Chain A
Amino acid sequence: MGKSIILGVGDFGATAETNGILKTYALGSCVAVMILDKKTRCVSMAHVALPESSISPSKAMSLPGYFADTAIPALFEAMKRATGGVLSPANDLIVKMCGGANVSDTNNTFNIGKRNALALKKTLWKYGLAPRADDTGGNFSRTVALYQATGIVEISSPGKENWKI
């Protein structure tokens, strides 16, 4: 098994290392967005906590992984760093996402999970991308591992059997 990179809330990372693993724990309303490059075999992941960086533009510069709108370009840059500057065009990239759980709030204020997932789809759209696998929503937390070797994402949640996307 290759090296595991653990990502906390708002972190992002990429690996092109054979058998590398990207992992993040306990996604509640946060969303893990993952990009896989079919050509370079580089994979990346961001643990996105919030939809828009405009709530704190100055801090978003140094913490782009926190926000849906800044996380995607940050992933592109991280993937280029991991491959020595190569990133394939959109039709060679596969996007997967999971997380974005919700607690029911009829006022909608606390539906951050849903807003995160929507904001990510909007941002991806700008780059000509859409998630091929989407495991968002529900009312449970998720821990996620992305395997470079296969591109498979394994999801676990307390009290449930693991599943894959």
Chain B
Amino acid sequence: MSQDNYKKIEKQIDTIPPLSPVTSQLLAIISEPNHSLQDVVTVVETDAILTSIVLKTVNSAAYGLKDTVETAVDAIRFLGDSMVAGLAIKREKSGISDAPLTGYLADADASWAHSLKTAIAARYFAKRFSNGKVREGVAYTAGILHDIGKSLLSSLLPAESFQSINDSEFLELEEQLLGINHAEAGFMLAYKWSLPKAMCEVIRWHHEPSKAAEEFKTLAYIIHLADITAMMSGSGTGIDTMRHSIDSEYKKFITVDERGLELAFFEIQLEYNQTFKAIQACFDSSKSVKSEEVK
């Protein structure tokens, strides 16, 4: 890696605010196989702003619930603990899941839309195609976090050079231009944040899942495929959309045929439409959420 870029990325990582204790705790809890709903509720209830985000989301028109949900425990039961962790990450001051990726020529909402679609696809694949080897909550959270490295590289990418790019693999292009790819940069940040081991592994290897540690390989393949699924179905992150290849060895870890995948695409899209609207409505009406946090 060129020494200059390495230093720039290290410097950037130093300026990124750390994850809030509540988000870190939620990520740790979800990584625990035997956690209970109450473990999540207890943490969420210590944070008034997160509680209000969770309640606003569950009561948004997109879900169309007949009765208003009034307690955190009912809201978390409905949304699922991993989606609550996703909301906690979106609320983070670092903007790590929803930063505009201008260096990737992506639209303003592209980063969050891609993270959310990948998370929903990953949870679906874990449930239907992993033969019980990957827990849904872990897959969802890894889907939200997998591309955190892009926000680090975005400002360093020389957008003007894209006019002449050929159809090469985008990961290789990042390495050529910057000496590092977004997966490795994301891993540096994940390590600094002391994220759970599973998250560090899939952030680092989501484009090269065969390199993940044995115990996390199925999860890495799930995020690999969920990431590509999001790009295929219109939720990419700009210039690199569709410019990553599939590691065909996924067949050893994931059981899926053409028809099963097509049904997955359809159901993932419908769930995404609903969830995106619910979360958008909540964050639009809480424009102050992040600034309140900064005070």
Q: Mark B77-111 against chain A: 1 for CB-CB distance below 8 A, else 0.
A: 00000000000000000000000000011100000
Q: A-B pairs with CB below 8 Å: how many?
A: 105
Chain A residues with CB under 8 Å of B266's CB are 49-50, 55-56, 59, 66
Chain B residues with CB under 8 Å of A106's CB are 248
Chain B residues with CB under 8 Å of A115's CB are 258
Tell whether A28 pairs with B251 under 8 Å between CB atoms, given A110-B261, A158-B162: no
CA distance A11 to B66 in the complex (A): 27
Residue B294 at the chain A interface, CB threshold 8 Å: no
Q: Mark B222-253 against chain A: 1 for CB-CB distance below 8 A, else 0.
A: 00010010011111101101111110101100
CA distance A120 to B270 in the complex (A): 22
Tell whether A25 pairs with B262 under 8 Å between CB atoms, given A105-B248, A140-B241: no
Tell whether A158 pairs with B263 under 8 Å between CB atoms, given A103-B232, A105-B246, A105-B248: no
Q: Which of A129-156 contact B (CB under 8 A)?
A: 138-141
Tell whether A9 pairs with B234 under 8 Å between CB atoms, given A103-B228, A108-B258: yes
Q: Contacting A30 at CB < 8 Å: which of B106, B233, B248, B250?
A: B233
Q: Contacting A50 at CB < 8 Å: which of B104, B106, B256, B262?
A: B262
Least CB separation from B163: chain A residue = A159
Q: Which of B273-294 contact A (CB under 8 A)?
A: 273
Chain A residues with CB under 8 Å of B258's CB are 108-109, 115
| B105:A28 contact, CB within 8 angstroms | no
Q: Which of A44-85 contact B (CB under 8 A)?
A: 49-52, 55-56, 59, 66
CA distance A106 to B245 in the complex (A): 10
Least CB separation from B243: chain A residue = A139
Residue B165 at the chain A interface, CB threshold 8 Å: yes
Q: Contacting A55 at CB < 8 Å: which of B162, B259, B269?
A: B259
10 A-B residue pairs with Cβ-Cβ distance under 8 Å, sorted by A, are: A9-B234, A9-B269, A56-B263, A103-B232, A104-B245, A110-B232, A139-B243, A141-B234, A141-B242, A159-B162
Additional pairs, 7, CB under 8 Å, beyond known A110-B246, A112-B265, A140-B242: A8-B273, A9-B233, A9-B234, A103-B245, A105-B248, A141-B234, A158-B241
Listed in ascending order, the chain B residues whose CB lies under 8 Å from chain A are 104-106, 162-163, 165, 167, 225, 228, 231-236, 238-239, 241-246, 248, 250-251, 256-259, 261-263, 265-266, 269-270, 273
Listed in ascending order, the chain A residues whose CB lies under 8 Å from chain B are 8-10, 25-30, 49-52, 55-56, 59, 66, 101-110, 112-113, 115, 138-141, 158-161
